[in-house]
Amino acid sequence: MTDVPVAVRRPQRADARRNFDALLAAARDAFAENGTDASLEDIARRAGVGIGTLYRNFPTRQDLFEAVYVEEIDQLRQVATKVSALPPWQALSAWLEQFVRYAVTKRAVIEALNRESDMFRQCRITMYEAGEPLFQRAQEAGEVRPDASFDDVLRMISGLTGGAFVDDAQRDRVFGYALNGIRP
Amino acid sequence: MTDVPVAVRRPQRADARRNFDALLAAARDAFAENGTDASLEDIARRAGVGIGTLYRNFPTRQDLFEAVYVEEIDQLRQVATKVSALPPWQALSAWLEQFVRYAVTKRAVIEALNRESDMFRQCRITMYEAGEPLFQRAQEAGEVRPDASFDDVLRMISGLTGGAFVDDAQRDRVFGYALNGIRP
DNA sequence: AGATTAGTGGAGGGGTGCCTCCGGTTCGCA
DNA sequence: TGCGAACCGGAGGCACCCCTCCACTAATCT
C-alpha cells in the first residue's frame, strides 16, 4: 500500500498549528461549496486568519487543495480496511457508499480523476489500491458482472456524486439503482 | 405541451441579428467549456462583438444563459417526438441517451434541476412533459422497475452527464450499467 | 524575565470581470 | 442619395481576487 504524500508539513508552534488546522477546515468547506476555484481570501477569512498566513502555510492554491484532498483519500483507504471483513458484495458497496457520502471535495474528485499532476496520480493510485481489491473480490465471487471494470464503476459513482438530489433518500435510491446495474 | 418561453426577442436589423446569433453561439461554447460562470467579456470577444452589444441583447447573464438553455430544452422535446415511435424501452433509453449526449450545457442542466427561477421551472416542466410519458410507457410495459420515479432517473442520468470519462466507449458502457440498474 | 525567532496579517500593486454610458457608425426606408 | 433611428463597442468606475512584502506580535527557551 503506497503512502499518501504529505504535501505540507504541520507547523511547530501551538498557535501556528491552530491556524493551520483552521485553514484546512475552512478550505474543506469552501472547496466543497464552491469547487476548486474557491476564493483563497475567503478561505482565510473563514479561518479567521490573514491572507498572509494562508500563503505561508500553502504557497500555492494547489498545495492547499492537495492537503485537503489527501485527507479525503486517506479516509477512503481506512474505510477499505474496515469493510474488508464483510462479504464481497457488501464490502464493495459499503466502500463505494463512503465514496459518495464522505467525499466532501466532491466536484474536485471528479476533476481529479482526469487531472495530470504527480500528486493526483499518486492519490489515484492510492484510491485504486484501496478499492480495486474489493472490486475484484466481488467480481470473482460472481457478484459483479464480468465485463465491468473498476474504473467504470468509480467514474459512474463519481458522476452520481456530483449530481443534485432532492434528499438523502433519493440519493440512496439512485445510488442503489446504479449499483444494481453492475450486478451480473 | 407547454411552450418554451422565449426569453429574448431577436432584433430586427440584419447586422443586429447577426450579432445576436454570434453571441448565442459563442455563449453556448463558453458555457459548455467553462460552466455557468464563463466570462461575459470572453463571450463577447468570441462573438467578435463589443461588450456593450452583449449587454443590450442580454441585460443579464441569466438572460443569456436562459436563451442558450431554452434551445437545449427544445431539442430535448423534439427528440421525444422522434423516438416515440420506438418500442417502450428503446424509446426511453434513446431519449435519455440524447439527454447525455447533446446536453451541451451539461453542468448547467445539473444546477438547473434545483435552481429556482420562473424560467427554470418552466424548462423543467417542458423537460418532464417530454420525457415522462416515455418513462411511464416503459414502466407500464414492465420494462422499468416499478419503484423508480422519472425524477430519480433524470437525476441519475444528469449525474452521469457531469462525470468525466476516458472515452465515448466508457461513457456508453457506464450509461448502459446505469440504465440496466432501473430494469425490473 | 528577557531574548530569540517563528509566526502574523493586512496594505498595496497588478490583474480580470462586471456593467453603464454615450459619441460614433451603419442600416434601411423614402 | 440622404436622413433618422437603430445599433455598435469600448472607455471607465467599481468590485473582487491573487500574491508579495515587511513591520509587528507572541510563543518558546534559558
Are B114 and A164 within 8 A, CB to CB?
Answer: yes
Instruction: Quote the pLDDT of residue B56.
Output: 93
Q: Which residue type does A184 have?
A: P
| Eight-class DSSP state of A12 | S
- C-alpha A59/C-alpha A79 separation (Å) is 31
User: Which of A158, A162, A181 has its CB closest to that of B181?
Assistant: A181
| B56 CB less than 7 Å from any atom of strand D | yes
416515440: which residue's cell? B84
pLDDT band at B6 (very low <50, low <70, confident <90, very high): very low
Which helix H or strand E contains A89, and what residues bound it?
Answer: helix A88-102
State whether residue A163 is helix, strand or coil: coil
In this complex, the residue with its CA at the shortest distance from the C1' of nucleotide D22 is A52
pLDDT band at residue A112 using 50, 70 and 90 as cut-offs? low
Instruction: Look up residue B93 and give its three cell numbers.
Output: 433509453
Residue B1 has pLDDT above 50, yes or no: no
Nucleotide nearest to B45 (CA to C1'): D9
Residue type, A162: G
Residue A53, Cβ neighbours under 10 Å: how many? 17
Q: Which of A155, A178, A179 sits opposite B164 (nearest CB)?
A: A155
**pTM for this predicted structure:** 0.77
Q: Diameter of chain A by CA atoms?
A: 55
Residue A130 near residue A80, CB atoms below 8 Å: yes
Residue B3: pLDDT over 50: no
Which three cell numbers, joined as nine digits, stand for A156? 459512474
Q: What is the pLDDT of residues B9-19, one digit of tens each?
A: 667 788 899 99
- Pick B171 or B36 by higher pLDDT: B171
Average the pLDDT over A69-95 and give the result. 90
Per DSSP, the three-state class of A166 is coil
> End-to-end distance of chain B based on CA atoms, in angstroms?
29
Partners of residue A155 in chain B, C-beta under 8 Å: 163-166, 170, 174
CB A9 within 8 A of CB A59: no
Q: Identify all chain B residues contacting A111, using CB atoms and an 8 Å cutoff.
A: 164
Looking at residue A65, what is its pLDDT?
Answer: 85
Contact of A12 with chain B, judged by CB distance below 8 Å, is answered with no
Smallest CA–CA distance from A163 into chain B, residue: B159
DSSP B47-84: HT--HHHHHHH-SSHHHHHHHHHHHHHHHHHHHHHHHT
Cβ contacts of A131 within 8 Å, gap of 6 or more: A76, A80, A92, A95, A96, A99, A150, A154
pLDDT of residue B111: 58
Q: How far apart are CA A22 and CA A67, in angstroms?
A: 13
Q: In terms of residues, how long is chain B?
A: 184
Instruction: Compute CA distances B11 → A11, A109, A122, B8, B44, whole Å.
Output: 61, 43, 54, 9, 17
**A159 contact B CB<8A:** yes
pLDDT beyond 70 at B108: no
Of A148, A159, A176, Cβ closest to residue B162: A159
| pLDDT (tens digit per residue) in B29-62 | 888 888 778 899 999 999 999 999 999 999 988 8
Phi, psi of B36 (to 5 degrees): -60, -25
Reply yes or no on whether the pLDDT at B23 is more than 50: yes
* Residue at grid coordinates 417502450: B88
Q: Could you tell me which residue, B179 or B109, shows the higher pLDDT?
A: B179
pLDDT for the residue numbered B46 = 93
- A61 C-beta less than 7 Å away from strand D: yes
Whether nucleic acid strand D comes within 7 Å of the CB of B59, the answer is: no
Statement: residue A140 has pLDDT above 80: yes
CB atoms within 10 A of CB B81: 10
Task: Give residue A5's pLDDT.
Answer: 39
